Amino acid sequence: MTEEIIIAGFGGQGVLSLGKILAYSGVMQNKEVSWMPSYGPEMRGGTANVTVIISDERISSPVLNAFDTAIILNQQSMDKFEKSVKPGGLLIYDPNGITHHPLRKDINIYQIDATEEATKAGLTKVFNMVVLGGFLKMKPIIAPEFIHKGLEKSLPKRHHGMIPANEKAIEKGKEILKPYHLV
C-alpha cells in the first residue's frame, strides 16, 4: 500500500497540521511516511500545500507531480492540483468559495461542506479534522486508535483536552462527505 496525497488550501486553514496529524498517525501504525510542505512567504490568507505519503515500503521521492488523492480547500488549489490527480484517483473538496467546480471525468470526486459544518457546530478550530474525516471515510488506511495516538503526538500537551473535539470532528466529516462525480 502506498497513498500519495496533496492537501492544499489557504494558510490558516490547518492544511499543514492536517498533514502532520495524518503522517504522525501513520508513524504510530508503523507505516513509512513523508510530509513535504510548500514553505516560504506563505501566511494566513496565502496558499499552503503539503504532500503526504503513507506507505508500507520505503518512500522514494517526497516531491511528486501526480497524486492518488487531492484534498482541495480553495479555488487557487483547484486550479493548480485538479489536473495532478492520477486517472482513477480521488479528489475531495470543500465547495465553500469554489467558483469553478472540477471537470475531470476520469476520477472520483467528493464534496465535503466542512466550512459550513464546522461553523454550524462551533467547531471552526477543528475544521481540518472534519476534512480528515472525509478522507478517512474513502481511504481507511489508518485505524482510529492510531489517529488518536497521532493526535496525542502532534498536539502540544496543553491542547490534549481538545482531542475528543478533534475526534468528534473526524466522525462528522465521515458523515457529511457526499459524491459529486463518480467514475
Partner 1 sequence: MKELRLMKGNEAIAEGAIRAGADGYFGYPITPQSEIMEYLMAEKPKERTGMVVLQAESETASINMVYGGAGCGKRVMTSSSSPGISLMQEGLSYMAGAELPCLVVNVVRGGPGLGTIQPSQADYFQTVKGGGHGDYKLITLAPASVQEMYDFVSLGFELAFKYRNPCMILSDGVIGQMMEKVEIGDQEPRWSDAYIREHHPWSTLGKTPDRPHNIITSLELESSRQEKVNLKIQAKYRILETEEVRYEMIDCEDADYVFVAYGSSARICQKAMELGREKGIKIGLLRPITLYPFPVKVLHDLAGKTKGMLVVEMSAGQMIEDVKLAVECRVHVEHYGRFGGIIPSPSEVLHALENQIIGG
Using CB under 8 A as the binding rule, whether residue 146 contacts partner 1 is answered as no
Residue 77 or 154 having the CB closest to partner 1 = 154
Using CB under 8 A as the binding rule, whether residue 81 contacts partner 1 is answered as no
* Span from 54-62, 110-118, 128-136, 163-171 in contact with partner 1 (CB under 8 A): 54-62
182 φ/ψ sector (left φ>0, alpha ψ -120 to 50, else beta): beta
19, 24, 30, 35 alpha-carbon torsion, rounded to 10°: 40
Using CB under 8 A as the binding rule, whether residue 43 contacts partner 1 is answered as no
58 φ/ψ sector (left φ>0, alpha ψ -120 to 50, else beta): beta
CA distance 127 to 133: 10
CA distance 139 to 94: 17
* 113 SS3 class: coil
User: What minimum distance in Å lies between the beta carbon of 64 and partner 1?
Assistant: 7
Using CB under 8 A as the binding rule, whether residue 138 contacts partner 1 is answered as no
Closest by CA position to 85, among listed 167, 4, 168? 4
CA distance 92 to 69: 8
Binds partner 1 by CB under 8 A, chosen from 10, 35, 67, 146: 35
Residue 7 or 177 having the CB closest to partner 1 = 7
Residue 65 or 99 having the CB closest to partner 1 = 65
Q: Which of residues 149-168 bind partner 1 (CB under 8 A)?
A: 153-154
Strand partners, 26: none
Using CB under 8 A as the binding rule, whether residue 37 contacts partner 1 is answered as yes
Strand partners, 23: none
Residue 56 or 175 having the CB closest to partner 1 = 56
User: What minimum distance in Å lies between the beta carbon of 19 and partner 1?
Assistant: 9
Using CB under 8 A as the binding rule, whether residue 64 contacts partner 1 is answered as yes
By CB under 8 A, name the binding residues for partner 1. Answer: 20, 23-24, 27, 32-37, 39-41, 59-66, 153-154
